Amino acid sequence: MRNFLTAIFILTSIFIFSIASYGAVIQSITVEDITEPDEPFKITKIDFYPSGAKFTFEVYPNSDGEINTELPGAFLEDKTIITSGNGAGVQIFTKTRAEWTPEFLEELKSKLDDQIKTVEDLEARKNSLEQTIKILNDYDPEKADPKNMLEYIPAAQKLRYRTESDLRDLQEDLKNEREILEALESEYNPKKPGRAKYSLVVTGKAEDTVTLETFTTFAGWTPKYFMYLNSETGEIENHMYTEIFQKTGLNYEGEIILHTKDPYGKITTPDLRPVRVFIKPKNVPPAASRRREEVERSERNSSRALYRKSAMDSGIDEYAVEESSVRSAPTVSQSLSDWVIEAEANITGDGNKLNLEIELYEASNFKSEAKILLIPELRRDAWIIAELDPASKRLIPAMTELFIDGRPAGKINLTESKQAQHKIEFGYIDQITIKKEPIIEKTGTSWFSGVLTSGYKLIINNGTDSTRKIIVKDRLPIPTDEKIKLEIKKITPAQKELSAQKILTWELEIPAGKSSEIIVDFALTYPQGEELGYR
């Protein structure tokens, strides 16, 4: 009988356990069937621009066909549109909220909040101790009961000593805790999403997934070149990098598209302005004459400053390609109005900069003709200009770090203009110099006219270790009055070109470590009694 009862008990237990397990399975299936999507939205694509980024979202309704989603406040309401799906009943608006912290920043934010409280507590204790010392300082012993003076003085001295000692220790602790707080703030603030006290609300009824596009200014990308010019062969080794970031608070893994628009701006090649000679007006008051000379001198100086400005101090940035964040090699294409670079990458939403190296073409190097230009009126050392074949492929506009024979040479902003794309100013070569020395300057008179005999010598030095082809430009005065006549007496060696603006151009080949000279001799004749001026 006992064995029978035992068997009944065991069978009953197994039955009850089986029913419970079956119920759990049914319950599990039922819960899974009605579970909402893991996320109410998903980023499907990001288009980056120099000044922002366009995010494409899929927003999912729940099982009741309702959408009630909050996107980060970094996205702009007036630049948000629904591109597909039945979104007629969907509203989009911005609202304020408690400052939002993305999940991946919660630990850092918690440390920051704890540290803020620690510093605030120490500051409160510091204020309390300072108040105690103030009370002791303000106490007037003369108003006290003389009977209590003997008891008060030792107690006050003891309290003051302990308070000041505690204050010194606390101030040291407070200094250390503030430094920790500053370190946490400097780590957290650059990662904090833009407009974290706002959210972009997407709400309403929808039968299916709604696709929307929205824009944020808390994102962007910047292209940059590193160009290395071989001044002897003209070959340019070119490397392009892109720096991409977004601070929306949303991490993303997938397709990214980088766009570039036609920027404004231009690069100008150094050139030589003509100089004009004229007859000075007579009886000009000394003050006005001095003022005219100051204006003319200012114009000349501003011209020189313009060309000096083209060479900027070079700060070499180290760009490391983050292979772990790049899922596929970028591809480059060009439309009528835009360059497009497509890739797949992982980009965090904390503003961390992702650097990608972009292979522009089958070969990233360019052939050019490296021209060395000397203009003694503007500077003593030479410009070097790389002229690319006009048929070569154009480059994406970008800030460019320049190097000549491995040495930093400066920066330029490479623009869309055709001239800038095929003529790149690489900076200065201080090993090739020019000096201008007057050799003749004599004022005299003939029977009916004044005569200014003038001339100069240009001394060109090639301090490099190889023979160089060098272009030299200088100028002769242009008479602006028919009473002034220009007579060229001698130019040695002969110039290659003399323009209508009286700009002289020579092309010289100077061996390594050698120098060469150019001599220019000319005369100006003008009516006797007049005086010449230049501008």
Question: What's the mean pLDDT in 70-77?
Answer: 94
Position 531 confidence tier, pLDDT thresholds 50, 70, 90: confident
Q: Of the ranges 58-67, 187-196, 452-461, which one carries the lowest mean pLDDT score?
A: 452-461
Question: Mean of the per-residue pLDDT values for the chain?
Answer: 76
Question: What is the predicted pLDDT for the residue at 43?
Answer: 95
Rounded Cα–Cα distance for residues 204 and 291 (Å): 73
- In percent, the amount of the chain with pLDDT more than 90 equals 31
Position 44 confidence tier, pLDDT thresholds 50, 70, 90: very high
Q: How many CA atoms lie within 13 A of 95 on its CB side?
A: 11
Write the pLDDT tens digit of every residue in 119-129.
999 999 999 88
Any idea of the CA torsion for 281, 285, 288, 292, to the nearest 10 degrees? 40
Q: Of the ranges 25-34, 243-252, 356-365, 479-488, which one carries the lowest mean pLDDT score?
A: 25-34
Question: What's the mean pLDDT in 345-374?
Answer: 78
Position 357 confidence tier, pLDDT thresholds 50, 70, 90: confident
- Tell me: pLDDT of 480 over 50: yes
Write the pLDDT tens digit of every residue in 308-317.
333 333 333 3
- Using CA atoms, how far residue 371 sits from 37, 232, 470, in Å, is 64, 10, 7
Question: What's the mean pLDDT in 183-206?
Answer: 93
Give Cα 329 to chain centroid, integer Å.
Answer: 24
- C-beta separation of 296 from 302 below 8 A: no
Question: What is the predicted pLDDT for the residue at 31?
Answer: 33
Question: What's the mean pLDDT in 218-230?
Answer: 88
- Tell me: pLDDT of 392 over 90: no
Q: Of the ranges 311-315, 327-331, 488-492, which one carries the lowest mean pLDDT score?
A: 311-315
Position 532 confidence tier, pLDDT thresholds 50, 70, 90: confident
- Using CA atoms, how far residue 26 sits from 20, 37, 449, in Å, is 10, 21, 119
Rounded Cα–Cα distance for residues 515 and 527 (Å): 40
- Tell me: pLDDT of 445 over 60: no
The helix (H) or strand (E) run that includes residue 332 is strand 326-334
Question: What is the predicted pLDDT for the residue at 17?
Answer: 39
Question: Between the ranges 22-26, 196-200, 279-283, 482-486, where is the mean pLDDT highest?
Answer: 196-200
Position 337 confidence tier, pLDDT thresholds 50, 70, 90: low
Question: What is the predicted pLDDT for the residue at 133?
Answer: 83
Write the pLDDT tens digit of every residue in 54-73.
999 999 998 888 899 999 99
- In percent, the amount of the chain with pLDDT more than 70 equals 70
- Tell me: pLDDT of 33 over 80: no
Position 163 confidence tier, pLDDT thresholds 50, 70, 90: confident
Question: What is the predicted pLDDT for the residue at 394?
Answer: 67
Give the residue with greater pLDDT, 328 vs 191: 191
- Tell me: pLDDT of 447 over 50: no
Give the residue with greater pLDDT, 321 vs 358: 358
Question: What is the predicted pLDDT for the residue at 500?
Answer: 86
pTM over 0.75: no
Question: What is the predicted pLDDT for the residue at 234?
Answer: 87
Question: What is the predicted pLDDT for the residue at 510?
Answer: 92
- C-beta separation of 437 from 450 below 8 A: no
What DSSP state is assigned to residue 485?
E
Write the pLDDT tens digit of every residue in 88-112.
678 999 999 999 999 999 999 999 9
- Tell me: pLDDT of 468 over 80: yes
- Using CA atoms, how far residue 490 sits from 147, 213, 425, 454, in Å, is 113, 72, 33, 11
Question: What is the predicted pLDDT for the residue at 435?
Answer: 93
Give the residue with greater pLDDT, 163 vs 326: 163
Give the tokens for residue 330: 């970028």
Q: Of the ranges 3-7, 132-136, 426-430, which one carries the lowest mean pLDDT score?
A: 3-7
Question: What is the predicted pLDDT for the residue at 149?
Answer: 59
- Tell me: pLDDT of 331 over 90: no
Rounded Cα–Cα distance for residues 307 and 251 (Å): 46
Residue corresponding to tokens 């006549």: 485
Q: Is 26 helix (H, G, I), strand (E, B) or coil?
A: helix
Q: Of the ranges 31-35, 100-104, 291-295, 417-421, which one carries the lowest mean pLDDT score?
A: 31-35
Give the tokens for residue 225: 């070149």
Position 461 confidence tier, pLDDT thresholds 50, 70, 90: very high
- Tell me: pLDDT of 18 over 70: no
- Tell me: pLDDT of 6 over 80: no
Rounded Cα–Cα distance for residues 257 and 126 (Å): 54
**Cis-peptide into 493, omega within 30 deg:** yes
